[in-house]
């Protein structure tokens, strides 16, 4: 199993990726690949979403130029999910197209449960077009096992995490012990 480190937001800046690239290079030297995550979510304008999209494609270009073993992860609300599914899907398509051209990968992070269905729908669409995209599933949601089965059945890569959002007991395990059990089953 490969060891992986995740870049912090303060290292991945739109105009200056040098600190994130250097951190990724250090991870590579230590035998780890890296995932650069330009934190951001819930943009309110198309311009903001397009700027975020450009920051991701620029990061992919720089990763390739520097020959770093790294990929990117992003949230769909950073690409305009709140502005419309079709608009967001097009922004993701542009990013995944670039990742495909560069033989890289885009991981779509999962957000709060209110976004799960829409995120999975857009990821499935993207996955039908390229294998350069995967997603994250949160183990604390009751639905996660079926979501993983559905994604794997179409060949989509999945990363399982425990989950970070506070969700109601009607849709999510509340106790750490339950989440731990669900993430290892």
**109: annotated active-site residue:** yes
**159: annotated active-site residue:** yes
Locate 168 and state its tokens: 């109601």
Locate 15 and state its tokens: 């105009």
- Burial letters 121-142, b for 16+ CB under 10 A, else e: ebbeebbeeeebbbbbbbbbbe
The answer to whether 146 touches 117, Cβ cutoff 8 Å, is no
CB atoms closer than 10 angstroms to residue 32 = 16
Catalytic residue among 3, 109, 118, 131: 109
Largest CA distance in the chain: 47
Catalytic residue among 51, 82, 159, 180: 159
Q: Which of 46, 34, 171 is nearest to 107 (CA)?
A: 34
The residues carrying an active-site annotation are: 109, 159
């Amino acid at each position: 199993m490969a060891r992986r480190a995740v870049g912090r937001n303060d290292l991945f800046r739109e105009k200056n990726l040098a600190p994130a690239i250097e951190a990724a290079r250090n991870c590579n030297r230590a035998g780890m690949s890296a995932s650069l995550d330009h934190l951001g979510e819930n943009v309110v304008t198309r311009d903001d979403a397009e700027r975020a999209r450009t920051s991701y494609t620029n990061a992919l270009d720089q990763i390739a130029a520097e020959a770093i073993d790294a990929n990117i992860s992003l949230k769909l609300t950073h690409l305009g999910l709140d502005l419309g599914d079709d608009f967001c899907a097009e922004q993701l398509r542009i990013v995944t197209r670039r990742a495909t051209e560069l033989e890289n990968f885009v991981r779509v992070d999962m957000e709060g449960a209110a976004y799960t269905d829409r995120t999975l729908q857009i990821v499935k669409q993207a996955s039908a077009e390229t294998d350069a995209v995967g997603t994250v599933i949160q183990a604390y949601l009751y639905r996660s096992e079926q979501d993983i089965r559905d994604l794997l059945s179409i060949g989509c890569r999945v990363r399982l995490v425990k989950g970070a959002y506070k969700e109601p007991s009607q849709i999510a395990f509340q106790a750490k012990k339950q989440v731990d059990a669900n993430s290892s089953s």
